[in-house]
Structure 1
Amino acid sequence: MPSLEVNRDAVGATGATRMSPGSFDPGRVGLFVALAAVLVEVVWLAARLPAAGLVADLGAFVVAVWASAACVGVARRHPPSLRRFWNFLAVTMALSAFTRALWALQRVVSGETPNTPLVGLVFITGIVLGTVGILSNPAAPHSTAGRVRVILDGVIVGLALVPIGWVVVFRDVAAAQLTEPDHALALVYPTFDLVQLTILAAVAGPARAMWRPLAMLGGSLAVRAVADIGYVWLLAHDTYLPGHLVDLGWPLTCLLVGLATRYPPPAERVDVDQTIVPPAPVWWRAALPYLPVGGAIVAVLLAHQPTGQTPPLILVCVLGLLAVLALRQGLVANENLRLVAQLRQLAYADLLTGLPNRLMFTRRLRRAIREESPVSVLLLDLDGFKQVNDRFGHATGDALLVSIADRMRDAVAGDGTVARLGGDEFAVLVDADRPVSAERLAERLLTALRPADDEEDVGTHPSASIGIAEYGPQHATHSDLLRDADIAMYAAKAAGKSAYRTCTPALRESAVTRAELIADLRRAVDEKQLELEFQPIVDLDTGLVRSAEALVRWRHPRLGLLSPGRFLPLAEETGLILPIDRWVIHEACQAAAVWRHSSPDATVAVNIAAAHLRRPDLIATVTGATAAAGLAPRALTLELTESALIEGSEAVLDRLRQLRELGIRIAIDDFGTGYSSLSYLHRIPATELKIDRSFVARLDEDARAYATVNMVSTLAEAFDLRVVAEGVETDRQHDAVAAIGCAHGQGYLYGRPGSLADLRSSFPGS
């Protein structure tokens, strides 16, 4: 006796149970029985053998029972979201089997076709339950209004097709035949079929993404509709006989439903974009309920009898159609109003925090200014929020923004309107009716945003900087007010962060000057306003000058000669440091090439910004400049700060190694002021260290400074690095660095920065 135990380890991803070889599979056996029943019925009806009507009923009964059992079985294996769908189909198939059993029983007892009210009631019940099943599948609308709209679409199509069917099928049929109960009841079948098929078409997804069982169910409904229409046609023309080939449509309908259970469940995934804005329906689905209406209108005109009267059935259907159309349009209008409200909410609210967004904030601010209301704006920016995202991930960053929004709501309470402008930038609008001042509100916000003592991860709570601007006659538009708040906010950041500042005329003037300077700086390179000066680097043993550091100056057309401290920080903030660096490298190489005509061993040093160090085109920039000037690569030294080097990635270090292989020298500038570490001295291919001037300046009076310089000199010797002491301004400092063993010195004692001609004339023997 074969074993009935299922191999539980053979359950596949499809949800169907795969049987081990030789094991008994009830589902497969049931499928074979159903196929055999359909095949027997086909042969029997085609051959017109005796008792064809009874065989047709029995065949449909067997297939319906199998389909019902298959639906019950798959409902147990599929996810909970699909169980209602399969259970309703199982009940529908069971009712179909019950109907066929009644028909078979009636044929055996009386030998007649049993078109009784009980059969019709069971059929309609199956249609209703099947429709509920279709509407319970995951592809169907989830809202009650959406489901009602889909049902109305089906009813519209069904009612519209009745006049069409009348003209096509019954126009030439004697009206007396349609008054018979079985004929009148049969008319209901294809109408309900088409209603259900329309509902399925309305809820199914696009063809390329449709779940296969829905496609099979659609085919089943289409076959049943064709069979019922054929049955009604034959019945109306009084040519139907039990066992007609049209009877094959009903077992085929159940067979397709059973075959649909063989497919795996759909992958459950959520499309975030579709949860916010649902996809637009395909045009034909939107037009589906209206397409047959035109045909119904034509059919009504054609259905007029010679007496000029319209058949009562057609008149009732048309009136019902008009009523359902009106109801459907009312529902659509209501949905549109609700959708407009949702879109308005999406347009004016921040999706993450629920706060008003920039658009809503701007509207309220404009209205307050238009009404000349004395309002204030607090602009808040988180300090270090990018590090939170980088360290903990964007999910943590989003959770932090939500938490901050809640804290801001509680802190502001009813004293202002909180909005999220975007990213980590928030704003508060305070109008004249509020009893609290903007400064007091800023203090409350800073207090609320500080992490509590019991919070586990303080690193996920950055501080905030707040800028305050009060509306005044100097603000022509809302943009001017926001600009002032932005100016004050950056002043708060410059003051050490976790602070607030109010915009003042001095701050505004400083910001305007800064903006003008940035605008002028953008033109400085193209208009040749930049100049190079060279400060000598002296060999302390011989007193000769064999090297110089190139220092950039800006000859501003209005402000005169500006030192690097006035414009290089702005250049680094705005990214203008890159073209400036390229110009400096190119000009320094040209000057060094000229200098080497009289002093073949001369070299030049150029400062490189951290931003340029991270660019992959740095090597091309340097080699291009040396080649264009005809300068040997060993005559160029690139000076890099410790902070720029310590933040360097492996790609940066590899870039420096390539430069060293080309002969370019690498100097670590301002050594001792950054993150000095023996580990990075091992990794960076440096050729020299430049001791920061702050240590050299204290050599006369600070023993620890002397020890530091001495230690750095010893360390550099161990690493085979040349040492340059910066900022040497007195003879005693010169004597100290020389005694320590520094090979080279740089400072005002040896020479101030000047032109290349001044350098060559001051040190003619070099």
Structure 2
Amino acid sequence: MLPQDVRREAVTPRARHVGVVVAATVFLVEAIWLAAELPQAALASDLGAITVATWAAVACAGAARRHPTPLRRFWTLLALTMGLAAAGRTLWTVERLGSHELPHTFLIGAVFTAGIVTGTAALLCSLSAPRSLVGQARTLLDGVIVGLALIPIGWVVVFRDIATADLIDPLRTFGLLYPMLDLMQLTILVAVAGPRRPVWRPLTLIGASLAVRAGADAFYVSLVAHHSYAPGHPIDLCWPLSYLLIGVAASHPPPPVHDGLDDAAESPLPPWWRVALPYLPVGGAIIAVVLARRPTGQTPHLVFTGMMALLGVLALRQGLAANENLRLVGRLRRLAYTDQLTGLPNRLMFNRRLRRALRDGPPVAVLLLDLDGFKQVNDRFGHATGDALLTAIAGRMRNAVGGDGDIARLGGDEFAVLVDAARPVAPERLAERLLAALQPSPGEEDVGIHPSASIGIAEYGPQHASHTDLLRDADIAMYAAKAAGKCAYRTCTPALRESAVSRAELIADLRRAVDERQLHLDYQPIVDLATGAVRSAEALVRWRHPRLGLLGPAAFLPLAEETGLIVPIDRWVVHEACRAAAAWRERVPEATVAVNIAAAHLRRPDLIATVTSATASAGLAPRALTLELTESALIDGSEAVLERLAQLRELGIRIAIDDFGTGYSSLSYLHRIPATELKIDRSFVARLDTDSRAYATVEMVTRLAGAFDLAVVAEGVETEEQHAAVTAIGCVHGQGYRYGRPGTLSTLHPHPTPA
């Protein structure tokens, strides 16, 4: 035996299917009965409607039990609506059989009206209906506007050719309200379902039910007004059909969670016709009022009352819309001026406040704060951790600043604080408080997710023509704080400003240097320590600046790396060095040339194309070119970088690890990198004759290189003592002023020189 809950789940879908079949069968029997005009057609019509309405109420109650909590109220109200429909039809049948007339009594009207109220409430609790009371009120008013606008239109269509004496009966006048209420409900359904794509299937069936009922009520009222309705009329089929459609809607399975139950999902904007829907019938209502006037010039009471109510509801709807627009404007302002992650004012709001403070006059100061190492947090722990860190830091900064300044998040990991005349606190004191607040708490430093900060301070002065000048100076000071070792603050001074301007001018000049052929290469010889022969040279770039004269690499290559200009400079160096080396090899066939490659260029996938293009265009054998790469660039390299280096080695290009010993030297990365030689950093060579530990380091690196079958080049050899030391240790090659200063390849003497 299966457990009871399992058997219930197995039987329920089948039971629902059987219920739909039985209800449809009842409807078909009623349809055949009325079409064949069999005896007791009126009773068959009433019993069929009662049966289908009762089944629909049971089906909706079952749906309320099956569906998730957000939809239980919807189906419960629909079950109540169908129950009221069944009760109303039962009262109608009993009273009709007793009086043999159409029983339009107050009790029956109240029951049907209650069903309309619960049905409307169900629509406002549907899957895609507005969640706020304001939104629900707006949707309800839209439906009421449509319904009231249809009163004069319906009057003209139904009652225009009816004699005044025949309209004394309230039924003939107020019966028009039933189709009006139906169309009100249909309008509400369109309003709540219109923005969603695709529309939830049960709402489509319920909409079809409302449309059928609205058409039936309108046609019924017209027949009654013209004394042409009799119970058992074919129009009676429309009501059980509307109940059947609702019962079928209740048999559908619950929707998936993502299909409308997720309140966080963004609702699409409604189409234009949805916005205009409640106002479209108003024009027709105005025309109908003119046509509905009697020959005496009077307007029927129902039409007049309906138009007055319509004007009142329109005024209420517009007032609600105006209030909603004001709330929306306020929300948009908050979104426009607030950083959504931290809740702080954003750059736009900060600039507004800064401009206002500058208009009020000094003293005004700006503190610009940038987190140090925040990118590494994102890369290592992910953006979710980075966002949480930014939120926590924003809270600490807010507490540190307090009422002494306006704090804002400008974007990314950059924050700013405004100190104006109303809060005369020393900016330096505020910077110290911020740095103290951002110190890691116990335990935070161990996990490595708490970066430090650098702060730049700029105080308003006569040199600031606008708020952008003040922000620029704060930015200058902030970069000075970073250069000072980070976790510090600096105040912008004329010297810093002048240095920044010079730096900006130098960057602008550097952008033109390659195109205007201002760069050139010198070559420093690399000698064979055993023979003194020069068979290789390192290409060193120089910049003939039109105003500053000849600049060495240290004066401009760091700027080039910061700005990304290092890549085009590297390309030029590789091509020029290959061209010069090809000419040199005509005199010295075994000669090779070494070129430094920046880390940014190493990470680019077009490095191989650049190198192969340079060697091919110069006619240089690939084995005659050595690419020198720093340890830090290699250690930070990805698997793609290592694969790129392997491809270069397969082509014959040699790989040298430059400045070896100054980075993160380890045996593991020597196993992975396809290097051919190590270049011992000059800082070790310079201390060979005075520091035993430096001597031991060079000796150890030389033995390590031998174990890995790597050639060794000792850099920075300047004295005879250093030359003797590296030779005694067993270094294969040497480079430095002891063997020659950088110059053209034509000045290099390839033959052995005396020791």
1:335 maps to 324
Offset at residue 711 of structure 1 (A): 1.2
Q: 2:570 aligns with which of 542, 567, 581?
A: 581
1:604 maps to 593
1:193 maps to 182
Q: Distance in 1 between matches of 2:716 and 2:7?
A: 79
SS of 2:515 mapped into structure 1: coil
Give the letter aligned to residue 732 of structure 2: A
Offset at residue 4 of structure 1 (A): 10
Q: 1:753 aligns with which of 726, 737, 742?
A: 742
Give the letter aligned to residue 469 of structure 1: A
Q: Distance in 2 between matches of 1:75 and 1:385?
A: 51
Q: 1:664 aligns with which of 653, 656, 660?
A: 653
On the 8 A contact 1:467/1:500 being kept in 2, the answer is yes
Percent of residue pairs identical: 71
Q: CA RMSD in A?
A: 2.1
On the 8 A contact 2:363/2:424 being kept in 1, the answer is no
Offset at residue 114 of structure 1 (A): 1.9
Q: Distance in 1 between matches of 2:81 and 2:593?
A: 91
Q: 2:374 aligns with which of 380, 385, 389?
A: 385
Offset at residue 761 of structure 1 (A): 8.6
Q: 2:467 aligns with which of 472, 478, 481?
A: 478
Q: Structure 1 regions of 5+ residues with no counterpart?
A: 11-16
SS of 1:288 mapped into structure 2: helix
1:734 maps to 723
Give the letter aligned to residue 402 of structure 1: T
On the 8 A contact 2:196/2:267 being kept in 1, the answer is no
Give the letter aligned to residue 218 of structure 2: I
Q: 2:6 aligns with which of 2, 8, 12?
A: 8
Offset at residue 98 of structure 1 (A): 0.6
Say yes or no: does 1:636 pair with 2:625: yes
On the 8 A contact 2:365/2:419 being kept in 1, the answer is yes
Give the letter aligned to residue 706 of structure 2: E
Offset at residue 24 of structure 1 (A): 8.7
Change (3 A) 1:115 1:330: same
Matched residue pairs, number? 754
Give the letter aligned to residue 28 of structure 1: H
Give the letter aligned to residue 34 of structure 1: A
Taking structure 2 as the reference length, what is the TM-score of the superposition? 0.97
SS of 2:448 mapped into structure 1: helix
On the 8 A contact 2:535/2:750 being kept in 1, the answer is no
Offset at residue 178 of structure 1 (A): 2.8
1:145 maps to 134
Say yes or no: does 1:107 pair with 2:96: yes
Q: Distance in 1 between matches of 2:429 and 2:306?
A: 71
Q: Distance in 2 between matches of 1:566 and 1:478?
A: 32
Q: 1:69 aligns with which of 52, 58, 71?
A: 58
Offset at residue 221 of structure 1 (A): 0.5
On the 8 A contact 1:115/1:185 being kept in 2, the answer is no
1:56 maps to 45
Change (3 A) 1:384 1:270: farther
Q: Distance in 2 between matches of 1:9 and 1:527?
A: 86
Pick which of 46-55 and 535-544 moved more: 46-55
Say yes or no: does 1:681 pair with 2:679: no
Q: 2:484 aligns with which of 486, 492, 495?
A: 495
Say yes or no: does 1:653 pair with 2:642: yes
- Matched ranges for 1:678-717 at <5 A: 678-717=667-706
Q: Residue deviations 1:301-350, cap 9 Å, x none? A: 11122222222221111111111111111111111111111111111111
Q: Distance in 1 between matches of 2:345 and 2:104?
A: 64
Offset at residue 456 of structure 1 (A): 8.6
Say yes or no: does 1:183 pair with 2:183: no
Q: Residue deviations 1:420-451, cap 9 Å, x none? A: 11111111000123242101111111111122
Q: Distance in 1 between matches of 2:709 and 2:401?
A: 62
Offset at residue 245 of structure 1 (A): 0.8
On the 8 A contact 2:205/2:249 being kept in 1, the answer is yes
Q: Distance in 2 between matches of 1:219 and 1:212?
A: 11
Give the letter aligned to residue 431 of structure 1: D
Give the letter aligned to residue 466 of structure 2: T
- Matched ranges for 1:421-436 at <5 A: 421-436=410-425
Change (3 A) 1:462 1:456: closer
Give the letter aligned to residue 571 of structure 2: R
1:363 maps to 352
On the 8 A contact 2:158/2:222 being kept in 1, the answer is yes
SS of 1:552 mapped into structure 2: strand
Say yes or no: does 1:521 pair with 2:510: yes
Offset at residue 455 of structure 1 (A): 5.0
Give the letter aligned to residue 482 of structure 2: K
Pick which of 332-341 and 634-643 moved more: 332-341
Q: Distance in 2 between matches of 1:753 and 1:30?
A: 97
2:711 maps to 722
Give the letter aligned to residue 678 of structure 1: L
- Matched ranges for 1:540-619 at <5 A: 540-619=529-608
Change (3 A) 1:572 1:271: farther
Say yes or no: does 1:290 pair with 2:279: yes
On the 8 A contact 2:595/2:626 being kept in 1, the answer is yes
1:86 maps to 75
Q: Distance in 1 between matches of 2:391 and 2:701?
A: 50
Q: Distance in 1 between matches of 2:167 and 2:132?
A: 40
Give the letter aligned to residue 16 of structure 2: G
1:43 maps to 32
Offset at residue 291 of structure 1 (A): 0.6
Q: Distance in 2 between matches of 1:273 and 1:33?
A: 36
Taking structure 1 as the reference length, what is the TM-score of the superposition? 0.95
On the 8 A contact 2:457/2:474 being kept in 1, the answer is yes
Q: Distance in 2 between matches of 1:183 and 1:111?
A: 19
SS of 1:460 mapped into structure 2: coil
Change (3 A) 1:456 1:71: farther
Say yes or no: does 1:209 pair with 2:198: yes
Q: 1:95 aligns with which of 66, 84, 106?
A: 84
Give the letter aligned to residue 73 of structure 2: R
